[in-house]
Structure 1
Amino acid sequence: MRRVYLDHGATTPVRKEVIEAMMQVHSEVFGNPSSIHSFGRPARKLIEEAREKVAQAIGADPKEIIFTGSGTEADNIAIIGGARANQKKGKHLITTVVEHHAVLDAFKSLEKEGFEVTYLSVDGEGAVSVEEFQNALRDDTILVSVMHANNEVGTIQPVEEIGKICRERKILFHTDAVQTVGKVPVNVKEINCDFLALSGHKIYGPKGIGALYMRRGVRVQPLYHGGGQERKLRPGTENVANIVGLGVAIEHAVAEMPAESARLEKLRDRLIEGVLGSIEETRLNGPRTKRLPHNANISIEYIEGEALILSMDMKGMAVSSGSACTSGSLDPSHVLMAMGLTHTTAHGSLRMTLGHSTTDEDVDYVITELKPIVDKLRAMSPVWERFQKGLPIH
């Protein structure tokens, strides 16, 4: 049986060059980077070399890069730390209803501290309106967070325009770029952001490592205490091997991005057209063009998403129904619901995210094998039966 991994939006395999670099660290460079002796200095040198690689990948200065344990941690340091440090100027914050839960839950925690949050809506393709954003701004707005691209439906947001407005009004702007770094061009100066979060395991690096870009001169209140590492914002002895792994991963991802993104975009479009063309009552979620090159999110009507994913898994196809952080939940995707889909349609959604290993043969296999799976599940669905008889289903 063919095995096809189409869940690169959840995580990616660690590339060979990353493993080799990390193994060398584990076997040869065990010193504490904070130690000034001959065992510690090589570790510190490796960290700073990785910092330069991350900075170069996003157009930043190495001194503006803080290593974290994940993209989630980077989001929290920026949002919670930034809001707390600037609350004397105001307590109004803005984000969107389609953010990753790493961002949404950070804002919910701030609401408990007395901050007021405005949640921007999105259109039917998952895009934020710049006009709605401008109308939401107030004199006491101190921080805005809008993701660079949505992790579920792949919609690329107008972060450059939003960032420009924030910079003009001296409002802190954070963007979660976990899904975009290494997939599309990312430049912190063009985005005009004060904070940007990224993660290693989305770009063929190790899990347990992320990075936060924090623009020079920006203040945040530390969330952790106990050491001076990473500008006192992420205290604790650095994970040298993972940091090196992130550096190698992001260097390769950016170098390969033009050719790989173009390849994946063609495969993505073939997959979308093949599924929509062979299975009735399906719809693409998100825009046709302004989306991540590797993301295909499709709703298959009158079918239960979990049963579909498990059935595909039995045929060797790994896909998801949305964010990996919430795929175990029975609740429909908050992103799809915000886009105006019904509970029934949202429950039948598939997120297929392509990657380095994806081939034309893989796409053909999915298109060929998916239809009989859908037909079988629909044959057991009373909702599908009612639809075919023209009876009301709600």
Structure 2
Amino acid sequence: MICYFDNNATTAMDKDLAEQMLSLCTEEYGNPNSIHSMGIKANKMLEEARLRVARILMADPREIFFTSSATESINWVLRSCISFRGKRKKVVTSAIEHKAVLNTLKDLKNTHEIDVVEIKPGRDGIIDSGKMLEMVDEETFLVSLMAVNNVTGSIQPFEEVGKALRSRGVLYHVDAVQAIGKCPFTPAEAFCDFASFSAHKFHGPKGVGITYVKRGAPIRAVVTGGGQEKALRSGTQNVPGIVVSSIAMERAVDSMEAITAKLKGLKERLKLEVERIGGVVNTAERSVANTLNVSFPGVKSEVLANALSTDGVYVGISSACSSRNDSGQYVLDNMGLEAAIASSSLRISMSKFTTVEELEILVERLKKSVSLLKF
């Protein structure tokens, strides 16, 4: 039996949506930019998906753009903002952002000589909004903050920051990749100019990103070509992926309350079991229901994850020792956790498909592996 607990990395698609996507790829495969009837039909499906996403986010459909990933969306927004900064040269962000934000800003710092200020979180993994806003001054042209941290599941004060920035003439981007289906999110309530999303984080397919660009917010084309997506993101749109992604987003938001209630129960049970085994919980109370970051001091996370994997249990790790993960240990390091805690951490992330039986197997395998591997 496969027990999958790495849903912050990617999620399984609903079978009916996978079947619908296959059908669209093999039967309704017209290019949405062609003028014949197949193209017109594909374009209609594309625009219906855009309307659906806009309705979910309570936005104008003209504010919704489709890309290949959240990483592309983030790059598009951050690199675009550089063009509209005038003489200002400062960006304020957090030290626990996804690497798509941090590495893009690092590159922009090298190529455009901007100043990037990274605010560290407290030991609970949550950014102090006051500290972040203190660093916003007349030199600041952009603030970028994630809604939910992908390593710990902590919910960041993205709404408080956005509300405070409204009258300060600073562009605001929210990485909302881990928010959909886990915590309430709309661009209006976040007071943001830009937001980024990834379909495969909410049971959609890989290869579809969504970008929200507020009407009137400055944006420029980074990918040029045939002029698709209002000439702001060229390249033939992935209609099958976009259509099922919009439906997956709708399902995730509509079922959020019920799924959250279920996952809260599983999470609380898991926390108790982890503590009984001798583990440490690194995730704060202010966090999404599906995520629990834990450490087992004395057991290297990569070794423990590999041991669990041989038993058919799959978890994420935060250790920087592996090149095949998102190297999330920097998040725990920036929280001020001891090296022994940070290097032995696991990210356990659930989904709507997670069952009590799977949780019991995870706990059983953890007990066995920790007792064998602890030194």
Please classify the TM superposition score into its range, dividing by the shorter chain length: over 0.9
Pick aligned residue for 2:341 from 345, 348, 360: 345
Contact 1:13–1:204 under 8 Å retained in 2:
yes
- TM-score with structure 1 setting the length: 0.91
Matched with 1:335 is 331
Matched with 1:206 is 205
Matched with 1:16 is 15
Distance 1:330 1:126, change over 3 A: closer
Contact 1:332–1:347 under 8 Å retained in 2:
no
- Asked if 1:168 corresponds to 2:167, the answer is yes
Distance 2:323 2:45 in 1: 36
Distance 1:327 1:15 in 2: 30
Shift of 1:120: 0.7
Mapping of residues 133-282 of structure 1, within 5 Å:
133-276=132-275, 278-280=276-278, 282=279
Mapping of residues 120-131 of structure 1, within 5 Å:
120-131=119-130
Shift of 1:20: 2.6
Could you tell me which runs of 5 or more consecutive residues in structure 1 were left unpaired when the two chains were aligned.
Answer: 382-394
Matched with 2:358 is 362
Q: Which amino acid aligns with 2:79?
A: I
Matched with 1:303 is 299
1:266-291 CA-to-partner distances (Å, cap 9, x unmatched) read 11111111111x212x2111212x10
**Considering only CA atoms, is the larger Rg found in Structure 1 or Structure 2?**
1
Distance 1:251 1:202 in 2: 13
Pick aligned residue for 1:371 from 361, 367, 372: 367
Distance 1:116 1:176, change over 3 A: same
Contact 1:89–1:142 under 8 Å retained in 2:
no
Matched with 2:283 is 286
CA RMSD of aligned residues (A): 1.7
Shift of 1:80: 1.3
Distance 1:330 1:127 in 2: 19
Partner of 1:356, secondary structure, is coil
Shift of 1:323: 9.2
Q: Which amino acid aligns with 1:49?
A: E
Matched with 1:387 is none
Shift of 1:87: 2.0
Distance 2:354 2:246 in 1: 24
Distance 1:48 1:355 in 2: 29
Contact 1:195–1:212 under 8 Å retained in 2:
yes
Distance 1:202 1:332, change over 3 A: closer
Mapping of residues 86-125 of structure 1, within 5 Å:
86-112=84-110, 113-125=112-124
Distance 1:54 1:151 in 2: 22
1:20-59 CA-to-partner distances (Å, cap 9, x unmatched) read 3212311222222112221211010011111111112222
Distance 1:7 1:253 in 2: 17
Partner of 1:320, secondary structure, is strand
Distance 1:341 1:323, change over 3 A: closer
Shift of 1:327: 6.0
Could you tell me which runs of 5 or more consecutive residues in structure 2 were left unpaired when the two chains were aligned.
Answer: none
Distance 1:119 1:283 in 2: 27
How many residue pairs get aligned? The number is 373
Shift of 1:350: 0.6
Shift of 1:342: 2.2
Distance 1:303 1:327 in 2: 19
Distance 1:159 1:121 in 2: 15
Distance 1:131 1:228, change over 3 A: same
1:104-163 CA-to-partner distances (Å, cap 9, x unmatched) read 011101101111111111100111111111210110211100000000000100111100
Distance 1:109 1:189 in 2: 30
Contact 1:10–1:323 under 8 Å retained in 2:
no
1:144-190 CA-to-partner distances (Å, cap 9, x unmatched) read 00000000000100111100122121211101111111221111111
Matched with 1:391 is none
Matched with 1:67 is 66
Partner of 2:36, secondary structure, is coil
Partner of 1:44, secondary structure, is helix
Q: Which amino acid aligns with 2:175?
A: D
Distance 2:227 2:328 in 1: 42
Using the aligned pairs only, state the percent identity.
Answer: 38
Distance 1:329 1:363 in 2: 23
Partner of 1:341, secondary structure, is coil
Contact 1:284–1:297 under 8 Å retained in 2:
yes
Shift of 1:355: 1.1
